[in-house]
Amino acid sequence: MEATQLQSGPVTLVISEVVDPSKVPAYEAWAKGINRDARTFAGFVGVDVIRPRDHDHPEYVVIVKFETYEHLRRWLISPTYRDWIEQSYGLIAARSQQQLPSGLELWFTLPQAQFGRRSPLPSPPYYKQVVLGVLAVYPLILLANGLLGPLLAGLPPLLALLISVVFVSALLTYPVLPWLSKGLAFWLYPKARRSRPYSHRQNS
């Protein structure tokens, strides 16, 4: 599935890939190869891989960044990318991907596969993004104060605040906001749920 929204600024592609547990070593080698080749394309900024914690249901989240949409598109339509995708058949049980512009959407678990869609879903309304952020951030701030407060008491205030922010941001990125966005997908994307055309396992 290719990103379709034209943008002049940096773009991010978030890819979720559920791997056959018996093929994890082969997938790791495949992922290393495709990420290595992506680095050779113009406009490539970086790639981050979030590895699974559940070995019985290994789901990898790959975050690829390019300077512009056009650079991303050239990578997605390149023979190199197509060749790597063909090599992934048999390794990946399900794959979904989504282009993201910026902001809190980077933390969302995008539910195309959940709703059986091939086309990108529209962003949730701004107020829903704010509500989701509050639901995620407020408990984490309380947790940070409770866990880190006694440990940071002797540090300079700005340094203690920085450590708390790093702690909260790390948990927001994974697993809190992805988990919340997936659990609240019925509210964030109500139209997609009502209009679900079919259910399938997507291999490409």
Interval 135-162: pLDDT, tens? 888 888 889 889 988 888 888 888 888 8
Please report the pLDDT score of residue 40 as a whole number: 94
Is 107 inside any structural domain? yes
- Please state, in angstroms and rounded to a whole number, the distance separating the CA atoms of residues 103 and 113: 22
How many degrees, rounded to 5, is the angle at CA 32 between CA 26 and CA 37? 130
Same domain, 135 and 74: no
Same domain, 107 and 17: yes
Same domain, 15 and 58: yes
- Please state, in angstroms and rounded to a whole number, the distance separating the CA atoms of residues 204 and 187: 27
Same domain, 94 and 67: yes
Burial degree of 97 (CB within 10 A; 0-12, 13-18, 19+)? buried
Both ends of the chain: CA-CA distance in Å? Answer: 7
Query: Total structural domains in the chain?
Result: 2
pTM value surpassing 0.85: no
User: Which residues form the domain of 56?
Assistant: 11-115
Is 204 inside any structural domain? no
Low-confidence ranges of the chain (pLDDT < 70): 1-9, 96-124, 126, 191-204
Same domain, 16 and 111: yes
Please report the pLDDT score of residue 99 as a whole number: 56
Residues near 12 by beta carbon (within 8 Å), at least 6 away in sequence: 63, 64, 65, 99, 100, 101, 102, 106
Residue-averaged pLDDT of the chain: 76
Please report the pLDDT score of residue 157 as a whole number: 80
